[in-house]
Amino acid sequence: MVKSLVGMRLKLFFSILAVLFVSILILSAVNFKVSSKVLKNQITEATSKSLKNVRDNFADQFIGLKEDLDGIYAQKDFIEALTQGESHTSLRQEYSSLARSFATKNIPTDKKVDAFYIYTSDHYCISHYRRADTPTYRYPTDIYNSSGNGDDYNAQKVKEYVESERSDLMLSSYYNQSRQKNVLRFVYKIYVQNRGRLVGYLVCDTDERMLTERINSYTYYDGQVVGIQPIDDRVAVLTGNPEDQQKKIVESISNKIQESKFTVNSKSVLKDLETDDDEVFVTALSRYGILMYSLYPEDMLRDTRSEMVVTILNITGFILVFAALIIWAYSNRVSGEFAEIQRNAEYKALQAQINPHFLYNTLETMSSIARRRNCAEVSELCLALSSMFRYSIGVRDSIVPLQREVEHIRNYLYVMTTRMQNDIEIEVDIKSSHMSLMMPKLILQPVVENAMKHGLSQIRGEKKLAIRTVEEGEKVHIIVEDNGTGMDSDEMNRWLNSKEKEEQKDSIGLRNIHKRLQLIFGVQYGLMVEDCMAGSRVHIVIPKSFNSCEK
């Protein structure tokens, strides 16, 4: 009887244990599947956002380089000589140094020009410039003069483009044997008579770092692969270190693009490039006939899933109940980490939208002042711009004291008042106790810029701009006020807090700031527009105390 009772208890114990074990396994499996799906969705969304950021930045680079190359039309004697059809010998003798002069003076150093060529419409090289000519840094004097091993410099693609109907800026590339790396190539057509006749073209070869450095700043994972490739051409840029399986995927995509005969505006390009791998993301820069693709690191999901399986298999005996809680805690921690990655991705995307176009206008103002008179004002303007560039481009700190924002805005206001002939009365009244308050970088400038551009520039007579701080409990209001044309405060506050994706014209900066502040501090902070008798009054609301390590 005793043995029978013990046997029944053991059977009951092991039955309960078995049921509990199976229940935990099922629960763990469900949790594993859900967590993996959430993890994959987060990685997918962040990778997709990074590729869109790369595409938008690349378009800006393209437009900027095209504007630089437009400067060739300022060489009126040269353009006239091309138009009149002077002989090759005459053109080369008279303009042999034009390539060097144009490349070094008209194209900024951040474009990293390696070589520059000027050709007639029948592919005769009038002038060339090479940044260096050493065994390590060797570039051709004429892209059509190969070493006899085929099209060494991928010049056939240039010729096809020049003889085609395309008139946009072309991207191509070739592999430089001496440097053992890709060289980017941009081709620009020269037209006369309102683009009615082609008389020549420019070939600008640049270091691939012109794009790779910017691409790397927009990737969120180590090992993320990003490729840029013109349709019907070789790969121009490939970043990251693709693993074996990813190499096959990249090769497959590259071959499809290189063998394609899509039109520049074809809507079927992305569909035709679809693969069975859901880790591949493709986007198009259709105006220039360029495709971009990205793959997230191959082992990211695999390694995370392996860790979860090992954790589940190590659960034994009487700790099964606690192990279930551990699994949930582990999966939640992993999901939380990638949720933070997603938050950082959204924050970087919002911060990257702000593009200070006024700097380019200011440089033109400086040039104008320098031409008219030789004075210390130019030196002060240069110092202000230097400080602004150093502060704006620096990436070390995203959270800074208010004092640094104020220093930056003083430089900005100096530049703007110089441009506007000092006709704005500016008052900055920031309490000394508030100077140490922590806030996101580059918050004040867009608000002040909005006030000057859309408020003060629209009125005549006395113009005033004031910046001050006011405490409200545990909050501090940084108030930017002007006596300009003003704005509809109710409509603006509704739009700032709505979930609509549409952006109001010329107001992307304000919504950007509002979202950045809420991402960092919480929904109770951000921007607020207040009614006033004349002009506008914008409140930047931040906490009185904030530990940057909390975020």
SS (H, E, C) 374-434: CCHHHHHHHHHHHHHHHHHHCCCCCEEEHHHHHHHHHHHHHHHHHHCCCCEEEEEECCHHH
HEC-encoded secondary structure of 353-364: HCCCCHHHHHHH
The SS3 call for residue 10 is helix
Return the CATH number at 156: 3.30.450.20
What pLDDT shows up at residue 317? 53
Rounded Cα gap, residues 152 and 169, in angstroms: 22
CA angle 254, 258, 259 (to 5 degrees): 120
| One domain for residues 379 and 461 | yes
For residue 86, CA distances in Å to 90, 91, 287 come to 6, 6, 34
Domain membership flag for residue 97? yes
Residue 275 clears pLDDT 60, i.e. is over it: no
Domain membership flag for residue 545? yes
Domain membership flag for residue 301? no
| One domain for residues 260 and 389 | no
CA angle 180, 186, 191 (to 5 degrees): 155
Rounded Cα gap, residues 71 and 62, in angstroms: 15
| One domain for residues 183 and 238 | no
pTM, two decimals, is: 0.50
Rounded Cα gap, residues 447 and 467, in angstroms: 10
Domain membership flag for residue 378? yes
Q: pLDDT grade, residue 52 (50/70/90)? A: confident
Say which range, 164-173, 241-250, 352-361, has the weakest mean pLDDT: 352-361
Residue 186 clears pLDDT 90, i.e. is over it: yes
Give tens-digit pLDDT for 416-442: 888 777 678 889 999 889 999 999 988
| One domain for residues 244 and 364 | no
Question: Using CA of residue 163, residue 166, residue 169, residue 174, what is the dihedral sign?
Answer: negative
| One domain for residues 371 and 487 | yes
For residues 484-511, average pLDDT: 74
| One domain for residues 202 and 230 | no
The SS3 call for residue 82 is helix
| One domain for residues 86 and 192 | yes
What pLDDT shows up at residue 383? 74
**Count of structural domains within the chain:** 3
| One domain for residues 388 and 486 | yes
Q: Using the 8-state DSSP alphabet, how is residue 504 labeled?
A: P
Residue type, 206: T
Phi, psi torsion values for 184, nearest 5 degrees: -80, 145
Return the CATH number at 510: 3.30.565.10
| One domain for residues 463 and 422 | yes
| One domain for residues 452 and 545 | yes
Tokens at 492, concatenated:
């603006």
Give tens-digit pLDDT for 121-151: 999 999 999 988 888 788 899 999 876 544 5
| One domain for residues 202 and 272 | no
What pLDDT shows up at residue 185? 94
Q: pLDDT grade, residue 488 (50/70/90)? A: confident
Domain limits at 418? 356-550
Domain membership flag for residue 16? no
Domain membership flag for residue 45? no
Tokens at 403, concatenated:
């004092």
Give tens-digit pLDDT for 383-418: 777 777 777 776 567 889 999 999 999 888 888 888
Phi, psi torsion values for 374, nearest 5 degrees: -105, 105
Residue with tokens 């008052």: 427
Q: pLDDT grade, residue 534 (50/70/90)? A: confident
Residues in the chain: 551
Residue type, 93: Q
Domain membership flag for residue 403? yes
248, 267, 295 — which closes off a domain? 295
Residue 84 clears pLDDT 60, i.e. is over it: yes
For residue 540, with 0-12 CB atoms within 10 Å meaning exposed, 13-18 middle and 19 or more buried, which class applies?
buried
Rounded Cα gap, residues 55 and 229, in angstroms: 12
Domain membership flag for residue 168? yes
What pLDDT shows up at residue 5? 44
Residue 549 clears pLDDT 50, i.e. is over it: no
Rounded Cα gap, residues 312 and 379, in angstroms: 67
CA angle 13, 15, 17 (to 5 degrees): 70
For residues 169-196, average pLDDT: 88
Residue type, 449: E
For residue 335, give the nearest of 50, 44, 36, 46 by alpha carbon.
36
